[in-house]
């Protein structure tokens, strides 16, 4: 099965799942623009959707010869080793940047941006990705969606706010996207909830003050979620005596979650949110997502996608938990990424202070 080259796409499928759409997964605002059509199902970045759920109207994608290798590379990005993926991600950003202006360029730039945060591929690669998306938006602005910023502006705003890159677009939509993310973080700071775990025990967020609480949104069908789980388990075992509590929240049924957790040997707490009330409370529009609260209940760090062990360590350091080797009396700060030592995800400068403004030619 080919991806994109012989398949179909629609405006709905082209947009990554970064804004909550009612009825997910029935709607197809998915995490990546690339998909393949099979006889019985459509596979979208790990999510299988029956053909009956596809939008009624579809159009053939006529990729150019210049675009085809980029589409193929994006489709295979998750299968690459992390070091290779970092290099390929950066090169793809450069390749997309020189494409002719238009919807294809913007869609490919947005798809790459969405994939680029699934781990730690280096700040330089993320900066090139953000520059490419900002350039594509400056050249081919996306229209507002029902009075809200288009998905592509929200994607760029998330890279700026949470991944610490420098990029902007001379568009009111970008400012609105930045303001929306700031409002989301205020809601997350004030959030409280009570959910039951897979054994029926209730857990409340605010009752855990005095602990460092890591709230992780995930699902059994989500490949990046599954990839980060072993690191979460390892770090939970290392830090639990220092007061770390992990609350992993799934919106799936217990009948699906419980055997999966048993098979994976997960010992941290797994909560069920079948009505998605807590997902909605936290404005979770794509998974995995992680939020860490310090012992005072303050939102100390958050991530918009999958994190590596080192990235989790940096986030935990923001909440006051420093990693110590077994038998060592001093914390290992060298392995904590610099961005997490100096910046907090919920306290960014105002949008107008981001310096790399893009108008017509790139950064």
pLDDT at 35 over 90: no
Convert the pLDDT of each residue in 50-83 to its tens digit. 333 334 455 678 999 999 999 999 999 999 999 9
Nearest CA to 20 among 254, 289, 228, 270? Answer: 289
* pLDDT bracket for residue 326 (50, 70, 90): low
What's the whole-number mean pLDDT along residues 98-104?
97
Q: Which of 22-26, 71-75, 241-245, 257-261 has the lowest mean pLDDT?
A: 22-26
* 353: pLDDT strictly greater than 70: no
Domains and their CATH numbers in the chain: 8-183 (no CATH), 194-341 (3.40.30.10)
In angstroms, the Cα distances linking 284 to 27, 187, 272, 355 are 15, 12, 15, 28
Which range among 46-60, 176-190, 287-301 shows the weakest confidence by mean pLDDT? 46-60
Q: What is the pLDDT of residue 143?
A: 95
The answer to whether residues 141 and 126 touch, using CB atoms and an 8 Å cutoff, is: no
Range 4-21 average pLDDT? 33
Mean pLDDT of the chain: 80
Indicate the pLDDT class of residue 328, thresholds 50, 70 and 90.
Answer: low
Catalytic residue among 225, 246, 248, 278: 225
Active site residue 225: yes
| Higher local confidence (pLDDT), 50 or 158 | 158
Higher pLDDT, 5 or 122: 122
Confidence of residue 90 (pLDDT cuts 50, 70, 90): very high
Q: Answer yes or no: is pLDDT of 290 > 90.
A: yes
pLDDT digits over 110-153, tens only?
Answer: 999 999 999 999 999 999 999 999 999 999 999 998 999 999 99
DSSP-based three-state secondary structure for 47: strand
pLDDT > 50? residue 30? no
Compute the distance between CA of residue 184 and CA of residue 45 in angstroms, rounded to an integer: 26
Give me the long-range contacts of 85-94 (CB less than 8 A, separation at least 24): 85/119, 85/121, 86/121, 86/122, 86/125, 87/125, 89/115, 89/116, 89/121, 89/125, 89/129, 90/121, 90/122, 90/124, 90/125, 90/128, 90/129, 93/125, 93/128, 93/129, 93/131, 93/132, 94/128, 94/132
pLDDT for 352 beyond 60? no
Strand partners, 291: 215, 302
pLDDT at 49: 30
Mind listing the pLDDT tens digit for each residue in 222-250? 999 999 999 999 999 999 999 999 999 99
Cβ atoms of 233 and 266 within 8 Å: the answer is: yes
């Amino acid at each position: 099965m080919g991806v994109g080259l012989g398949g179909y796409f629609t405006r709905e499928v082209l947009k990554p799942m970064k804004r909550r759409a009612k009825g997910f997964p029935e709607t197809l605002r998915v995490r990546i623009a690339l998909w393949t059509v099979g006889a019985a199902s459509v596979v979208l970045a790990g999510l299988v959707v029956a053909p009956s759920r596809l939008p009624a109207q579809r159009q053939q994608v006529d990729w150019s010869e210049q675009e085809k290798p980029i589409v193929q590379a994006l489709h295979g990005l998750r299968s690459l080793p992390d070091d290779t993926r970092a290099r390929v991600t950066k090169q793809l950003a450069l390749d997309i940047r020189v494409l002719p202006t238009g919807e294809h360029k913007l869609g490919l730039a947005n798809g790459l941006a969405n994939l680029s945060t699934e781990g730690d591929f280096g700040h330089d690669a993320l900066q090139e990705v953000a520059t490419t998306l900002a350039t594509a938006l400056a050249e081919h602005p996306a229209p507002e969606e029902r009075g809200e910023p288009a998905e592509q502006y929200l994607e760029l705003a998330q890279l700026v706010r949470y991944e610490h890159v420098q990029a902007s677009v001379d568009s009111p939509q970008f400012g609105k996207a930045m303001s929306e993310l700031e409002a989301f973080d205020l809601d997350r700071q004030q959030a409280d909830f009570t959910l039951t775990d897979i054994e029926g025990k209730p857990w409340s967020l605010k009752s855990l003050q005095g602990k460092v609480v890591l709230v992780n949104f995930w699902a059994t069908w989500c490949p990046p979620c599954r990839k980060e789980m072993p690191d979460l388990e390892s770090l939970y075992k290392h830090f639990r005596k220092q007061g770390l509590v992990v609350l992993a929240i799934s919106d799936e049924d217990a009948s699906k979650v419980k055997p999966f957790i048993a098979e994976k040997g997960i010992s941290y707490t797994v909560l069920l949110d079948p009505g998605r009330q807590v997902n909605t409370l936290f404005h979770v529009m794509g998974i995995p997502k992680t939020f860490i609260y310090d012992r005072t209940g303050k939102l100390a760090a958050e991530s918009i996608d999958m994190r590596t062990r080192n990235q989790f360590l940096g986030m935990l350091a923001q909440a006051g938990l420093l990693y110590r080797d077994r038998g060592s009396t001093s914390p290992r700060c060298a392995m904590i990424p610099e961005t997490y030592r100096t910046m907090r995800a919920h306290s960014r400068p105002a949008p107008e202070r981001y310096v790399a403004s893009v108008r017509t030619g790139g950064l």
